[in-house]
Amino acid sequence: MPRPLPAPPDTPWDTAAGTPRPGTDDAGDGNGIAGLFDRAAATYDRVGVDLLPAAGRLLVRHARIAEGEQVLDAGCGTGACLLPAARAVGPRGAVTGVDVSPAMTERTRQRAAEHGLHWIRAHTADVEDPRHPAPAPPPEGYDAVTAGMLLSFLRRPDRALGRFRSVLRPGGRLALSWWGAEAPGWDRVVQATRPFGPGSREEIETDVPGQSPPLTPERVERLVYQAGFASAELYEERLETTFRDPDHWWTWTWSTAARAFWESLPPDRLPAARAAAYGALEALRAPDGSLPYVLTAHVAVCHRW
């Protein structure tokens, strides 16, 4: 285990330096990450695929969220981490969620109300842009910060990790997760769509404006220690789901950030790209016509000294 580097000076959350993300502006033209997830919000986690909720439950478990704790969930989306964290802390605790997408935070508020989790607070905020700051942390700091599948969307993950550290109490922990490899064979879908646009795996993963290159456990561990954390526990989890058929898979991709790739194609080429993807999916179908899907989720639990 490498020795941690000296911790950077703590920067107050609401005054941290930052830069606007490419593809967004004060007019909110919808071309950036906020707009992308606003468009996905209506179907996000609503198409019968449990991958994100399962990853959220895993992250909360690895973070060892306990009753009565104060938790910040960065990039809360519609509550994949936020809701299980709220159940873990109970009414004696509190959970604050922040997300750059107003539509996502509104859905989180609705879900919190539906589940009777009145100790949840959700705010529209950008962890990288001081013009849209997150709420100030509790005076003593948060017991834990969770960031489920957020890192790859950060323009400067090193800065964000430093800010997460700054809002933790001494001894607090940061729990991160990010997607890893798909099951063998699924790269055929990427290869099939390549002729229609920026279709390589890396290009699809980075097509969202401001999204950083794919992450490895080694890179995340290095970033964590550079941000001043004292230790990091790394985990790898296997998540499985099944798409009923190619149409189900298609609907799911449009409910996620992957829609950025399809939206990047000229409208007249989209039907052909979809047909090419369906052709590649045929080789992956089970005898009953379904599509078994396996994806790796990586987790890092980082401790502040």
Phi then psi for residue 193, to 5 deg, are -90, -10
Q: What is the pTM of this model?
A: 0.86
Tell me which residue has tokens 């690895």: 62
Looking at residue 269, its amino acid is R
Dihedral angle of Cα 145, 234, 237, 208, to the nearest 10 degrees: 60
pLDDT by residue for the chain (305 residues), tens digit each?
Answer: 333 333 333 333 333 333 333 334 333 334 589 999 999 999 999 999 999 999 999 999 999 999 999 999 999 999 999 999 999 999 999 999 999 999 999 999 999 999 999 999 999 999 988 788 889 999 999 999 999 999 999 989 999 999 999 999 999 999 999 999 999 999 999 899 988 875 444 554 455 444 555 689 999 999 999 999 999 999 999 999 999 999 999 999 999 999 999 999 999 999 999 999 999 999 999 999 999 999 999 999 999 98
**Pairing, β 120-124 against β 168-182:** unpaired
Please enumerate in sequence order all residues whose Cβ is within 8 A of that of 245, keeping only pairs 6 or more positions apart, or say none.
285, 289, 290, 291
Helices then strands, each counted (H, E), the chain: 11, 7
Nearest to 241 by CA among 77, 79, 58, 48: 48
Query: In 3-state terms, what secondary structure has residue 22?
Result: coil
* Annotated domain spans of the chain: 29-189+212-242+295-303
**Pairing, β 94-99 against β 120-124:** parallel
Domain boundaries 29-189+212-242+295-303, corresponding CATH code: 3.40.50.150
> Residue 222 is encoded by which pair of tokens?
């290095």
Taking a C-beta distance cutoff of 8 angstroms, is the pair 150, 75 a contact? yes
Rg of the chain over Cα atoms, rounded to whole angstroms, equals 19
The rounded distance, in Å, linking the Cα atoms of 246 and 54 is 22
